[in-house]
Amino acid sequence: MSKKGYWVVMLTVTDPQGYERYRDAIGDAISSFGGSYLVRGGQVTNPEGSDFGRHVVVEFDSYETALSCYRSEAYQSALKHRRAASTGHFAIVEGA
């Protein structure tokens, strides 16, 4: 059995309207790869590092699926909106 894959995202949104376009555009990409949100916003405390305003964790059935979703045409076409509307970190991680 393969291990799960996760998108771990920490962002500072610089253009809320642009970020909304990104959020609206990624739903189909994530759902078509079987992804589900574990964290999407909410309260946050950063006791040891940078203060990002937005945190997101998306779970996929496998690391390979998480990579495939990121590399998909649907996600890549939405990505331009996130890059224009935020700064931060995005990692694809293999989990337990």
3-state secondary structure the chain: CCCCEEEEEEEEECCHHHHHHHHHHHHHHHHHCCCEEEEECCCCCCCCCCCCCEEEEEEECCHHHHHHHHHCHHHHHHHHHHHHHEEEEEEEEECC
Q: What is the pLDDT of residues 57-85, one digit of tens each?
A: 999 999 999 999 999 999 999 999 999 99
Domain boundaries defined on the chain: 16-35+61-96
| Predicted pLDDT at 42 | 84
Q: Which are the contacts of 71, defined by CB distance < 8 A and separation ≥ 6?
A: none
Regarding pTM above 0.85, the answer is: yes
| Predicted pLDDT at 63 | 97
Residue 2 binned pLDDT confidence (cut-offs 50, 70, 90)? confident
| Predicted pLDDT at 29 | 93
Q: What is the pLDDT of residues 10-63, one digit of tens each?
A: 999 999 999 999 999 999 899 999 999 999 988 888 888 778 889 999 999 999
Q: Is 81:19 a contact under the CB 8 Å cutoff? A: yes
| Predicted pLDDT at 44 | 84
| Predicted pLDDT at 49 | 77
